[in-house]
Amino acid sequence: MHARMRILSVCLNPAIDISSEAENIYPVSKVRTCCERVSPGGGGVNVARVLSNFDTPCELVYLAGGGTGKMLEDALLGYKIDGHCFAIDSPTRVAFTVRQTSNNQEYRFVPEGPVVNESAYKRLMAYLSETTLAEGDIVIVSGSLPRGVPDDTYSRIAQVAERQGARLILDSSGAGLATALDAKESIFLVKPSLNELQRLAGRKLDENGARDFAGSLIADGKAEHVAVSMGSHGAFLVGKHSTLRLPAYLVKLVSAVGAGDSFVGAMVYALAQGHDMETAFRYGVAAGAAAVMTSGDELCRRDDVESLYRAEDQQSEL
């Protein structure tokens, strides 16, 4: 990684992620669980965790509050992450994932999260506005917008990045994503899932339609690159002059939690190492596959990512 490169990950709606297992899940009756795991979570937090696992320095800027916010702060101490927490008045949300072992089905419960008070939001935005970035630095904005935060928050962060020549990577959905793409700032990379892209387009898209719509975002100057994940159907990357389509890896599905965040984290790692966008995309696809091989909220393991990436690289040379 270039010594001067700075990586900043922003998470406005983090979570405490609790995952567990149960043989069967029934209504009304108590469901006894086992194998509980508790981890810091939320889009930008997970991306920072992946970068930490890849020994890549990252600064995490996030909002958190209450007892669960303290749990989140303490949990992050186990990672190589430079954390900057801005305290909110309400408790940080708690998300639950339960895997039913009898049929390997996963149930995910994700609360909308707290209402963010205006003073905490202003302090965080002031910090970002005053942050010194250099050309080529990376700012990652990942996750949903919490309640109480303006829809144009991500476009404001894009302004901060563009003003200093930094590259903005956006992985979100809903009003935050749509408003950022409608702003005048060009985003370096947008990484929606196919479902998120369809919501953005306002219509159902087959793969060709999804590529065309992604291409229109680039043609309109809204993004430089669009990486679309399609689950078991693979992923594609659209740039100004090229499109790269990769199939999904054939791996054992254990848990889909954190696959998208692993995808983004590995892409950022590869870019920080000086790789081009297509190589970074290959790392991202490998990391997404590696994430589904792990249980609960574990995210991708570096050895698995490297192994899958090498296997795909060797296959492409044949």
Q: In this model, does residue 16 exceed pLDDT 60?
A: yes
Give residue 314's pLDDT. 59
Averaged confidence pLDDT in the chain: 93
Q: Is 175 left (phi over 0), alpha (psi -120 to 50) or beta?
A: alpha
Q: Is 231 left (phi over 0), alpha (psi -120 to 50) or beta?
A: left
Interatomic CA distance for residues 124 and 5, integer angstroms:
22
pLDDT average, residue stretch 60-81: 96
190 DSSP 8-state letter:
E
Task: Give domain status of residue 270, yes or no.
Answer: yes
| Cα torsion through 122, 128, 131, 132, rounded to 10 | -140
Q: In this model, does residue 231 exceed pLDDT 90?
A: no
Task: Give domain status of residue 2, yes or no.
Answer: no
The residue range of the domain holding 302 is 7-23+33-317
Instruction: Give the Cβ contact number of residue 187 at 10 Å.
Output: 26
Task: Give domain status of residue 308, yes or no.
Answer: yes
Pairing between β-strand 223-229 and β-strand 58-64 as defined by DSSP bridges: unpaired
Would you call 276 a catalytic residue per the annotation?
no
Q: In this structure, are residues 143 and 42 in contact, taking their beta carbons and an 8 Å threshold?
A: yes
Task: Give domain status of residue 60, yes or no.
Answer: yes
Q: What tokens appear for 52 in the block?
A: 């930490």
Q: In this model, does residue 22 exceed pLDDT 90?
A: yes
Domains identified in the chain, total number: 1
Pairing between β-strand 34-41 and β-strand 15-22 as defined by DSSP bridges: antiparallel
Give residue 318's pLDDT. 42
Q: What is the pLDDT of residues 95-154, one digit of tens each?
A: 999 999 999 899 999 999 999 999 999 999 999 999 999 999 999 999 999 999 999 999
Give residue 2's pLDDT. 45
Task: Give domain status of residue 144, yes or no.
Answer: yes
Task: Give domain status of residue 151, yes or no.
Answer: yes
Query: In this structure, what are the phi and psi dihedrals at residue 222, rounded to the nearest 5 degrees?
Result: -85, -25
pTM: 0.94
290 DSSP 8-state letter:
H
Instruction: Spot the catalytic one: 171, 261, 297, 304.
Output: 261
Task: Give domain status of residue 142, yes or no.
Answer: yes
If DSSP codes are grouped into helix, strand and coil, which group holds residue 156? helix
Q: In this model, does residue 71 exceed pLDDT 50?
A: yes
Task: Give domain status of residue 1, yes or no.
Answer: no
Q: In this model, does residue 45 exceed pLDDT 90?
A: yes
- The CATH number assigned to the domain holding 202 equals 3.40.1190.20
Give me the helix-helix angle, 277-292 and 259-272, nearest 10°. 150
Model confidence at 211, in pLDDT bands (50, 70, 90)? very high
231 DSSP 8-state letter:
G
| Percent helix, percent strand, percent coil in the chain, to nearest 5 | 40, 25, 35
Lowest mean pLDDT among 8-17, 27-36, 254-263, 276-285: 254-263
